[in-house]
Structure 1
Amino acid sequence: MTIDSGEQAMSARTVFMFSGQGSQYYQMGRQLFDEHPVFREWMVWLDGVAHGINGRRVLDAIYSADKSEVFDRTLLTHPAIFMVEYALAQCLIHEGIKPDLTLGTSLGSFAAAAVAGYIGVEDALAAVLEQAAAFEASCERGGMIAVLADPALYDEDFLYTRSEMAGINFSSHFAVSAAQCELPPIEAALKQRNVTYQRLAVSFAYHSRWIEGAEAQFAEFMRSIPLGRGGLPLVCCAQGQTLTDLSDGFFWRVVRQPIRFRDAVAHLERQGRHRYIDVGPSGTLATFVKYGLPAMSSSSAHPVLTPYGQDRKNLAALLATLPATA
C-alpha cells in the first residue's frame, strides 16, 4: 500500500538513502572500517555471511585492491554495496541518528528494506548474491551512462534507438542503459554535442530489457525468502511512492524499472521538511537531492562516505548538526 502524499510532517523527518550499482569503488568506507568499531563489526560479520553462501571474501575485494582499478565485477560489487550501506546505517543508528523512512534506488532497495525491517539482513544479502549470480549467468554484457542534461535529450534518435532510459535523478541529470556495443557510439554522439557524461562502473545494462534473462532465476530464489510488513515506511524509487508493505516481485522491479529519484524526492517534499542522509558509498544521492530540491525547500542533504577520504570528518559533521531522534 502507499501513503497519501498529502500527509504533512510537522517537523523534519530523517531519510536514509541507499544507492545502487555504479556508486561503488575500491577502499570505500576505509576510514570507518579502520576507526569505527560498529561499522567494522558489521562489515566483518556480513563478510562472514557472504563467505558462507558463496565462498568469496568480499572484504578482500574492497580493501586489498588498488584504489585506481575499476571495481565492476557484479559478483563482488553487489554484496559490497549492500554490506557498506547496511553497516553504515547501523553505525549511524548506534550514534543516535535513526531513520523515520528509508529510500532505496535499484540495488540499494535491498539494504533499505533490511534496515526498515521488511526482510532479514541475512536473507537480503543472500538475495543480493543470487541476483548477481543470475546476471552473470543469463545476461549479455552492457553498461550505463550518466548524462548531465535535460532528460528531453533522450528523445533524440541517437539515444532512444540505442538505449533505454534507466532513470531521472533531477531536472538536468539522467542515465541510460545499453548493450556493450552501443556505448561507444552513444558517448561519441554526446561528445559531439558537448554534453557532459560519465560511463558508470557497471557490467550490465540495469533497468533495461538487456537484464530480463536473469528474472526467472532470481524470482525462483525469492519464493523461499520471507518478507514482513516492516517497521518503517520505505520510499520506492521504481514507483516514486512510499510503501508500507512489499509485494511479490518488488526486488526485481527495483532493478528492472527506471529509477524515478526525482519523483521520489518530489513526493517526499510535498509532505514536508526532511533530512536526507546518504548512506551509499559515494554520496551521490545527497548531491542529487541538493540539485533537485525546490527553491523554497527547508530540507537538507548530507553525505557520509565519499571517494575523497573525508568519511570520519563527514560523520562528525553530521553528528554535530543533526540532533539525534528518539
Structure 2
Amino acid sequence: MAKGPGVAPPHPHGLAAARPRRTACRYGAGAADPLPGFKAHLAEMSERLEPLLHLSLIDALNGPGRDAAFWQDTRIAQPAIVAVSLACAQWWTSLGIKTDVMLGHSLGEYTAACLAGVFSTDAVLQIVTKRARLMAGMPAGAMLAVALDETGLNSLLLQHSELDLAALNGPRQGVVSGPADAIEALANDLKQRGIPTQRLRTSHAFHSRAMAPAASALATFLTSQTLNRPTRKFISNLTGTWITPEQAVSPDYWARHMLAPVRFAHGLQTLQEKGPRWSLRPARDTCSAHWHAARG
C-alpha cells in the first residue's frame, strides 16, 4: 500500500513497481533541479559505483561528449541502470511511498531483488558490474523484436536453429537473439511474410546460448557473495510468477536468468491476477532519464 504525506491510500490490493532493464540515459542539472531528493540519491549511487567503473556516473551523465555508443557499452549501461533504478526507489521511499510487490525486466529483477533484501546495495552494484563485464566478453550478436506470440515464435525458431527466444513482452511481442547474420536472415524472411520486426540496439545476443560461459562464471562468482531470503515479494522472469526464497538465494537461478527468456508478459499477468491495481515505474519525467527498449 502506498502511504505518505498527501498520498491517499490507493486500491486495497496495494502498489506495484515495474523496473527497467536497459536504458540510454540523459541527465542534466536543469532536469534534476526540480528533484533534489532524487539527485542526492543518484549522487550516492555514483559514489558507490565509482571504484567499480573507474568513472563518475554523475560526471558521465552531466558532462559533454558521452554519445549513444558510450551508453550502449553494456559494461557501463548495466550498472548505470541499476544505480538509477535504486536512486528512484530510494527517492520514492523518502516520499513515504512503499511498494508491496515488484516486477523487473531482466536486469530490473536485480533491482527488485536488492529492494527485497536479497542483495545489499553494494553487493548488487558489484554483482551487476561483474555480470556486465562477463557478458561484454562474449561474442557479438544481435536481437530482433518480432510481432508473434510464443507459439509462433517457437515454430519460427525451429526453422532458424541458431536463434533463441529471448523475451516475451506481450501477447504478440517477442524477442529473438543470436548471431547477427542469423538475425538479419530472419528479419528478411519475416519481411517477406509481412510480419513486423524491429532490430534492437544491442551489442550482444543477450538471453541466448551465446551467454553460457558468462552465466557459468557468474554462478561461480555468486558463490562468494551473500544472498538473503527475500523480505518482499517480486516476480521471477524465469517463471513469470512469484520468486521462491530458494530461487532467490541460488547462484544457479541467476545464471539461468542470464540465459532464459524474460517472461515479462507472464509477470504482468501475475500482477493482474494476484497483485495490486496500481503501478509505479521509473519514467522520463520522474527520474530525468530516457528509457529505451534494448537488451543487456
Fold-level similarity (TM above 0.5): yes
Q: Whole-Å Cα distance in 1 between the matches of residues 28 and 113 of structure 2?
A: 21
**After alignment, is 108-117 or 153-162 more displaced?**
153-162
Give, in angstroms, the shift of residue 28 of structure 1.
Answer: 5.6
Q: In 2 relative to 1, CA 146–207 (structure 1 residues): closer, same or farther, beyond 3 Å?
A: same
Match in the other structure for 2:38:
39
- Moved segments of 4+, more than 4 Å: 28-32, 65-68, 303-306
Task: Tell me the amino acid that sits aligned with residue 114 of structure 1.
Answer: C
- Identity in percent: 24
CA deviations on 1:29-77 (whole Å, 9 max, x unpaired) are 8766343122111211111211112413333444435687343101100
Aligned partner of 1:264 in structure 2 is: 267
- Which blocks of at least 5 consecutive residues in structure 1 are unaligned? 1-9, 284-302, 309-326
Partner in structure 2 of residue 151 of structure 1: 150
Aligned to 1:99: 99
Change in 2 beyond 3 A, CA 1:173/1:66: farther
Q: Against the structure 1 CA distance between its residues 240 and 39, is the aligned structure 2 distance closer, same or farther, given a 3 Å change threshold?
A: same
Residue 126 of structure 1 corresponds to: 126
Q: Deviations over 1:120-156 (max 9, x none)?
A: 011000000001111123x101122222333333213
Question: What is the match of residue 4 of structure 2?
Answer: none
Contact 2:168 2:265 in 1 (8 A): yes
Aligned partner of 1:141: which letter?
A
Q: Is 1:254–2:260 an aligned residue pair?
A: no
How far apart in 2 are the matches of 1:97 and 1:29?
25
Matches within 5 A, 1:1-326: 11-21=12-22, 24-27=23-26, 33-64=32-63, 69-70=68-69, 71-137=71-137, 139-154=138-153, 155-156=155-156, 160-245=160-245, 246-249=248-251, 250-271=253-274, 273-279=276-282, 307=290
CA spacing shift, 1:118–1:306, aligned 2, 3 Å: same
Mapped to 1, the partners of 2:13 and 2:287 lie a distance apart of 19
Change (3 A) 1:198 1:59: farther
Conservation of the 8 A alpha-carbon contact between 2:32 and 2:39: yes
State the Cα RMSD in Å.
Answer: 2.7
- Check conservation: 2:150, 2:168, Cα contact below 8 A: yes
* DSSP-derived class of the 1:184 partner: helix
Contact 1:26 1:65 in 2 (8 A): no
8 Å CA contact retained: 2:160, 2:182: no
| Shift, 1:159, TM fit | 6.2
Displacement after TM superposition at 1:157 (Å): 5.8
Secondary structure of the residue aligned to 1:156 is helix
Structure 2 unaligned residues grouped into runs of 5+: 1-10, 292-296
Q: TM-score w.r.t. structure 2 length?
A: 0.83
CA deviations over 1:95-124 (Å, ceiling 9, x no partner): 222100121221111111111222101100
1:216 CA displacement: 3.0
1:17–1:277 contact (8 Å) kept in structure 2: yes
Q: How many residues are aligned here?
A: 276
Moved more, 110-119 or 120-129: 110-119
Question: Residues 61 and 183 from structure 1, CA distance in 2 versus in 1: closer, same or farther, beyond 3 angstroms?
Answer: farther
Greater Cα shift, 186-195 or 261-270: 186-195
